[in-house]
């Protein structure tokens, strides 16, 4: 146990500090403070000493330098059990400081507010971060409170332990201090590292949510980040690890579409997808793609959910429904099942990077946010696709881009008819898609075929033609592209190249 006899308080947010200040005063603790915090405490009628009384220097450079002085840091870093440290402090009249309470300048919030570069620079805390690190380093003798979120904990300890703090408590706060420091420095690094990039991976996220379990019940799971920034849970049980994976996949897929669209996902792959001006029709078309796999799936739409579509959706058992808006009477229908997760999407996903842990390190890549436009298609065959086919080809490519490789998508009239997912050969993916289309009663005559990568042989287009498929979209780039082109020309099929592969693993 270490009894607190003196404290240094320097906080940006002062509204929560009152109780601690009053408790410290009640305990007879000597309080030192700076600038606005000093004035705030003084106006409370509490006895407080200015840091300037220690340093004999005023706050200079517009407040940039206030606490950076041996009289302050000597009192924090002095090791109480070492004679030389005690002698140094005595010789230079440096008082010991037992408690440091700091709340850093809000750098991340300033960046997010789109403030000017000059304003952002001034919110890089120098004195505060130095105080935190010094106090944390000397946790054996000093207690550090590095942010507002730990102030209630300190107040509780002061009350229950009569102004003393245990060593394990000080060590816990020291760890918290270095977490705050690390996260703060990472945010500053990311701000500066936007142009001529330094190759260094920095991930620092304080916000976290414990999940019921990971991918399987025997695995622990946790989500790091503030998902409430992008979605609000309106109803249902706690979101699971697998829910999050599917929600992310579904939200990225649905962002590809400007008009009303509906997607049904299972294990990150769309088993149903359709685009139609009427949301009820879009839902029915999506569900028809694979009504078996839709059971227990994740549903995502980019349109308002009204009562009419809610009554149709209500007929299906599903895990999650994500939409930007819900009518009140639609919610009344959907909330009839207590465990259904209903999420209101607040904004689109904006992440530009993907990171995975692999081997003994991490893989990082830019997110695949590219999509070919109709006027960028390269017509490879003698015959060009008509406007209706182009619409379906683009629809199919959007779908196959978000499907596990090797992937083939069959589509017609802006509806996913079937897909071949995660196969070890492209022709096997096509066979899987064809079998599925037949199983659910689809007519493939006039349908299109979309492939996430080039066809190494002509076997896929040959099989597609035999099933009535009339148009093909693929990246191109195979040494044997001409074989597929020649076959399409012979059968009056159309084929376009995108020049862009969309592997997904």
Residues annotated catalytic, as ranges? 137, 267
**Interatomic CA distance for residues 22 and 404, integer angstroms:** 60
**Parallel/antiparallel/unpaired status of strands 318-323 and 341-345:** parallel
**Interatomic CA distance for residues 100 and 493, integer angstroms:** 75
Dihedral angle, C-alpha 340, 346, 347, 352, nearest 10 °: -60
Please enumerate in sequence order all residues whose Cβ is within 8 A of that of 492, keeping only pairs 6 or more positions apart, or say none.
383
**Parallel/antiparallel/unpaired status of strands 49-50 and 30-33:** parallel
Nearest residue to 11 (alpha-carbon basis) of 39, 30, 53: 39
**Interatomic CA distance for residues 59 and 163, integer angstroms:** 30
**Interatomic CA distance for residues 502 and 166, integer angstroms:** 56
Q: What is the DSSP string of 395-441?
A: HHHHHHHTSPSS-EEEESSSBEEEEE-S-SSHHHHHHHHHHHHHHTT
Q: Which residues pair with 103 in a beta bridge?
A: 11
Q: 3-class DSSP state for residue 461? A: helix
Structural Rg of the chain based on CA atoms: 31
């Amino acid at each position: 146990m270490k009894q607190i006899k003196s404290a240094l308080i320097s906080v940006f947010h002062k509204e929560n500090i009152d109780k601690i200040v009053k408790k410290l005063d009640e305990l007879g603790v000597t309080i030192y403070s700076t600038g606005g915090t000093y004035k705030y405490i003084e106006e409370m009628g509490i006895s407080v000493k200015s840091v300037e009384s220690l340093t004999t220097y005023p706050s200079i450079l517009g407040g940039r330098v206030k606490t950076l002085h041996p009289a302050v840091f000597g009192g924090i870093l002095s090791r109480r059990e070492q004679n030389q440290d005690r002698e140094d402090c005595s010789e230079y009249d440096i008082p010991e400081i037992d408690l440091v309470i700091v709340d850093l300048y809000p750098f991340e919030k300033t960046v997010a507010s789109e403030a000017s570069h000059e304003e952002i620079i001034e919110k890089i805390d120098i004195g505060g971060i130095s105080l935190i690190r010094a106090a944390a380093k000397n946790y054996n003798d000093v207690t550090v409170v590095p942010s507002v979120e730990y102030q209630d904990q300190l107040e509780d300890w002061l009350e229950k332990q009569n102004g003393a703090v245990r060593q394990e408590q000080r060590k816990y706060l020291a760890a918290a201090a270095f977490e705050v420091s690390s996260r703060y420095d990472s945010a500053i690094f990311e701000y500066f590292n936007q142009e001529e990039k330094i190759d260094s991976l920095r991930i620092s996220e304080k916000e976290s949510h414990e999940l019921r379990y990971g991918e399987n019940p025997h695995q622990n799971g946790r989500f790091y980040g503030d998902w409430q920034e992008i979605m609000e849970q309106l109803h249902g049980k706690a979101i699971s690890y697998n829910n999050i994976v599917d929600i992310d996949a579904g939200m990225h897929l649905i962002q590809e579409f400007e008009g009303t669209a509906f997607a049904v996902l299972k294990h990150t792959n769309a088993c149903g997808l359709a685009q139609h001006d009427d949301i009820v029709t879009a839902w029915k078309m999506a569900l028809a793609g694979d009504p078996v796999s839709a059971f227990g799936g994740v549903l995502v739409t980019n349109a308002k959910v009204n009562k009419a579509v809610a009554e149709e959706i209500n007929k299906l058992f599903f895990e999650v429904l994500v939409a930007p808006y819900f009518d009140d009477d639609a919610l009344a229908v959907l909330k009839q099942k207590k465990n259904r997760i209903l999420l209101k999407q607040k904004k689109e996903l904006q992440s530009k990077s993907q990171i995975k842990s692999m081997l003994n390190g991490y893989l990082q890549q830019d997110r695949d946010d590219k999509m070919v436009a109709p006027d960028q298609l390269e017509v490879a065959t003698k015959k060009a696709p008509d406007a209706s086919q182009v619409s379906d080809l683009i629809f199919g490519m959007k779908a196959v881009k978000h499907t596990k490789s090797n992937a083939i998508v069959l589509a017609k009239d802006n509806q996913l008819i079937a897909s071949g997912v995660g196969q070890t050969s492209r022709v096997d993916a096509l066979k899987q898609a064809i079998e599925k289309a037949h199983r659910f009663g689809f007519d493939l005559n006039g349908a299109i075929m979309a492939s996430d990568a080039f066809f190494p042989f002509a076997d896929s287009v040959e099989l597609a033609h035999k099933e009535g498929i009339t148009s093909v979209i693929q990246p191109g780039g195979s040494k044997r592209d001409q074989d597929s082109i020649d076959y399409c020309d012979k059968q009056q099929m159309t084929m376009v190249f995108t020049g862009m592969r969309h592997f997904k693993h």
